[in-house]
Structure 1
Amino acid sequence: MSGKQRYVGVAERRARLGLRQRLAGAARAAGPEDVAASLVALHGTDPATVYLAVGARLAEPGKTVAEVERALYEDRTLVRMHGMRHTVFVFPTELAAVVHASTGLAIAAKARAGLVKNMVSGSGGRLTPEWLAEVEASALAALARRGQATVNELTEDEPRLREQFTYGAGKSYESPQTVSSRLMRVLGAEGRVVRGRPLGSWTSTQFRWAVAPPHPELPTAEAQSELLRRWLTACGPATEADLKWWTGWKVTDVRRALTAVGAVAVSLDDGVTGYVAADDADPVAEPAGPWAALLPGLDPTAMGWQDRDWFLAPSMRDALFDRSGNVGPTVWWDGRVVGGWAQRPDGEIVWRVLDSDGVGKEALAAITAEASRLHSWVGPARITPRFRTPLERELASP
């Protein structure tokens, strides 16, 4: 990470985005495993995002739902689990050990300590750490017997999961919490359980739980280096701030991993330093032609960097993001966000261009084709983003 830095301008960054994020026409993938491997992680907080993000990147999206379900629930080549920033993602199963060791352990330790503290104080000492250990062992045994189960089904086998305690007693945010809801999230962060099939369709937010498949325990530093290397390959160049935000690590962990993988420093606009993977330092050619895409809310490309000004004009943020910083559905043209889209109650896909600079007839025709492609494979499903944004709400209104 020393010596003269090569300049990587916005045009090359957008070219890399189109190719590495599987959005440019020739770069589109054959299956969901290819998409997940290329992007490292698919946001899973909103279940529909996983399918929509994959479908936008497949050369032939017609079997998106069936193929994603096969990968998640039959072949188990993809796994839905807690990862960076205590967020639910879908990863290639081969990355489960890397994610667990690099980010999950620290998050899990904090989550468990918080649960124990809140549970003991919120129950007046009635619920103890020893009691919790006994209940969770019983719940995990019941889950193993069932294979997959909802929380309600587990409470039939272990009624103590229904016990409640008061969170934030005496505070303005005081509220009752159930042991089951907090415990399952902790077990998920610890990599002991994963999300299984939903109760309803692919857009459902109600999931069954399953015992996590076994994976090796890796040294934390080794796992962090591997995760960062893969992410730089997908998203480089990226700044330290981007890496710290995406991983949720301390800056010292980011810097140690950058050194370990031999990341190459490059110069970005305004004299900012970014990093690319050691084997990815050469200039990247433009995709074969311009491309359009309709990406869902929380898409991993739109949420991949903390600094998004190089592909999303600040003037569009109020329309495309909610107050917590979650991005809604976006319309892309040749490496940048130009607007947003939504689905109306009758199933129609509607969109609006907010930044018309460079968006001519070719772009409008390509965006229209993408909207038609999306409508054709979504079929009768109705998609309402979990985190709604001003433009999406407006467009979705009949």
Structure 2
Amino acid sequence: MDQLNNIKDLDNLSLVIHGPNDLRLEQTPIKDTLEPNECLLETHSCGFCGTDIHLMDHGRMADFIVKEPLVIGHETSARVVAVGGDVKNLKVGDRVAVETAIPCQKCDYCRAGRYNLCPISNTQARGLPPKHGCLRRYYAHPADFLFKLPDNVSWEEGAMCEPFSCIVHACRRLNIMAGHNVLVCGAGAMGMMAFLCAKAFGANKVFVTDINKSRLALADKLGADKTYAIDPKTFNDFDMAQTVVKDMGCNPDISIECTGNDSSTSMAIYATKNGGKVGIVGLGGLKSTVPLVHTAMREIDLIGVCRFKDDYPLAIELIASGKVNLKPLITHKFPITEAIEALKFMKKNVEGSLKIMVHY
């Protein structure tokens, strides 16, 4: 294919993990032949999340273990630089958001429309072993999982579509709608997007909790109805729930837990109204201690959230329409040559930092 002539000679600087605390910037091979349904992408922006920190620190994320060098990164926007023979929905030069977990499209889950639960997608999620991620200049990706960005959506917002699509999926799973009162636990990037998305879905009041006062100040600025600075030394999950209920004037219809912390999850359960829902977005340990008796006796639904499912188009539309503004969440930017420093900076959780973005 003429588009791929001399592709092996191009710079493909990549962020590669070799094991715990062993990150390296190095050149990686570029695929020189595309499948008929693939596009070759040139990365522009890529964000980091907690998954990348786990990989850096431990060489693993849950059961995903780094056994050989792995390119990390999965929150990305890119430009199409070549297309396979069967690709009709995209052309060279298009700017795209990249849906990074690739299902088999053949199993019962995929055929039922729940492709995010496809067992194959767990082994084909970019940036988790064994599937190379997006923090490299060039890589090939199936066109069916690329979404063209409108002109008014920036590269950085395009990269944010991956985590934001997880939140859109959560809000859809929880069926948030006009009039609902919502509690969001955690004001990190996911919690911020959760409260913004809940508002866009029509929620009446949205309250937000966190231990980081600067993040809560940003939540206040962006329209949260009330925020709560939690002191972990004196935090009592039941008392905090009663405070939220008193201030809201009712129990929240829906709570979205974005911290993965057992105490925070317990607080969300205590606060949520009888017959309400608690969405589990943040992931902590493999086992959890929460008041399940309360969920049973009060018929509170615990709703699991696994990545995204047909959520990129709505995520992009919410951003493009201005109903959700993600730009204030992007607080720090680094060039690819400083990608290792960027990830270490994120781990420090510096006051005022939220979403870290790396640029090519």
Q: Same fold (TM over 0.5)?
A: no
TM-score, L = length of structure 2:
0.29
TM-score, L = length of structure 1:
0.27
Higher relative contact order (CA 8 A, sep 6+): 1
Larger radius of gyration between Structure 1 and Structure 2 = 1
